[in-house]
Amino acid sequence: MKTNMKTYAAMSPFELKNVLIDMAQIAAKKKNKKMLNAGRGNPNFLNTTTREAFCHLNLFAADLASKNTKINNLGLRPEKKGIAKKLNTFLSKKKNDATILLKKSIQYCTKELKLNPDDVVFELADASLGDFYPSPPRIFPNTEKIVFTYLNKVLFNGKLAKGKFKLFANEGATASMVYTFKSLKENFILNKGDSIAIITPIFSPYLEIPELNDYKLVEVYIKGDEKKGWQIPDSEIKKLENKKVKALYLVNPTNPTSIALNKSTLEKIEKLVRTKRKDLIALTDTVYATFPKKFNSIVGVIPKNTICVYSFSKYFGVTGWRLGVIMLHDDNVIDKLIKNLPKKDILKLDQRYKMDSATPEKIKFIERLEMDSRDVALAHTGGLSCPQQCMMAILSLFELLDKQKKYQKSIQSILEKRIDSLYKNLKIKLNKGPEHTYYYTLLNLGEMAKDQYSAKFANYLTKNFTTIDFLFRLAKEKFTICLPGEGFAGPNWSIRIALANLSDKAYPIIGKNIKAIMDQY
């Protein structure tokens, strides 16, 4: 059994989850009970108004296309001229939250973003039909302006971002990371044997990507301090001074600890980059940026050094839509590093990209990301599908129009209620703060054992058993799934509990179940 436990401990937490689910389902069926899977972070909440708005827009576009021909089941591509007025007439016949959102969205684009109404409506309506390739492949021009305005609100606290940024729309945060690593490798920025710093604990696949044979990077952990609210000690930030460290990899706010880096921590990183590491690349996943009441982004302090990834999946409940963007400053450090590569490497890159440009050396990294995502040869057919880009724009406009942050507050309220009930039944004091997302919690079972029982018991527990033992028992006896924190480079004897994917009433039960298993030990 101990050999098996070692095998399970070596597995990715998300693969171990499947083992625990199988175990819990069999046990639950025998007892006629329900399994509680707090192992995965797919939210059970979702934005309905934006989905209805997309449907109305799609119906409008399909109706318009069908009017261009008398042949049954066949339509022709709508014309741009006068399309905004036609949409307004269409929406006037159906008054509800979704149609009001569409009306206000076009008004916002016209008045606030200074966009041409026919250009915007045609781009979104035609995109909803999905009848043409994405053009340009990187992202639609009006969609880019809309989404960037949304990101400006989320990542820069509504303050105007310094300088210009470009976006590459793609299939979510994980796709963004895969594309980014691939392009950094293809462009000789990250090479085998290079070191990459990773702020831990972190989403486990992000620990696994650098280790792949494709990259073979040396991982340097920048460890968050649990006693300091998971902020980064000065001694850990100092590791970034090492010139062998080519990039800094982080999720902010964090997964699994669910806390945003505070202003002080980010300012220390900014100072180090400004004074000692002007060449350092920061690669950040900001998918949870909309959840805390107070958020500071690394792109806000070192914009020219940051490749910023954002996904709409969690906040709007669109994980199945696969909606993400990579954001990059026009005057970024990656383009400078490429320009200063050895001549032999520049010649190789010119060979790679010459099929797409007469001046391949002038291609910006943000464009190379899109090209590399289709192995360059198929770059002209690349890009995120048009309906996905349309949905991305609608989601962005919904949040931009929600001046009182009603939607955000409702999501925050749901998560706070769930974590309060979980900790109340664990009989543990919950640390709160404006930088907390409450999307997950990383529960330190070793500390729980010491605080609620004794140091002697905690020592006995951690010496004679493993976290996997505890999770197996929790699955078999209480039909409850959680993930090992160690798989996220978290503390030994910690577990990650997802607070977004189950109903409110599940979390008091999960708290009681974990407490009951601890009592048994």
Whether pLDDT at 10 is above 60? yes
Which residues contact residue 311 at a Cβ distance below 8 angstroms, ignoring those fewer than 6 apart? 172, 173, 176, 285, 287, 323, 324, 325
* Buried b / exposed e along 185-197 (16+ C-beta atoms within 10 A): bbbbbbeeebbbb
Q: What does residue 336 show for φ and ψ, rounded to 5 degrees?
A: -70, -40
Establish how many alpha carbons lie within 13 A of residue 171's alpha carbon, considering only the half-sphere containing its beta carbon. Answer: 8
- Count of helices and strands (H, E) across the chain: 22, 12
Give the pTM: 0.95
What is the residue type of 166?
K
Render pLDDT for 79-96 as a digit per residue (tens, 0 to 9). 999 999 999 999 999 899
Q: What is the average per-residue pLDDT within 433-448?
A: 97
With bands split at pLDDT 50, 70 and 90, how would you rate the model's confidence at 160? confident
CATH code of the domain occupying 48-132: 1.10.20.110
Render pLDDT for 105-133 as a digit per residue (tens, 0 to 9). 999 999 999 999 999 999 999 999 999 99
Amino acid 162: pLDDT: 84
Cα(345)–Cα(14) distance, integer angstroms: 38
Amino acid 292: pLDDT: 97
Whether pLDDT at 6 is above 80? no
Within a 10 A sphere around the Cβ of 26, how many other Cβ atoms? 13
Helix axis angle, 117-129 to 48-66, nearest 10°: 90
What is the share, in percent, of the chain residues with pLDDT greater than 70? 99
Cα(65)–Cα(431) distance, integer angstroms: 56
Same fold for the domain at 2-34+406-520 and the one at 151-385? no
Amino acid 159: pLDDT: 80
CATH architecture of 151-385: 3-Layer(aba) Sandwich (3.40)
Instruction: Write down the domain spans for the chain.
Output: 2-34+406-520, 48-132, 151-385
Amino acid 178: pLDDT: 95
Pairing between β-strand 165-170 and β-strand 195-200 as defined by DSSP bridges: unpaired
Amino acid 2: pLDDT: 46
Q: What is the average per-residue pLDDT within 179-200?
A: 97
Amino acid 513: pLDDT: 98
The residues with which 245 forms a beta bridge, in sequence order, are 195
CATH code of the domain occupying 2-34+406-520: 3.90.1150.10
What is the share, in percent, of the chain residues with pLDDT greater than 90? 95
Contact 171/384 with Cβ under 8 angstroms? yes
Render pLDDT for 313-356 as a digit per residue (tens, 0 to 9). 999 999 999 999 999 999 999 999 999 999 999 999 999 999 99
Contact 102/51 with Cβ under 8 angstroms? no
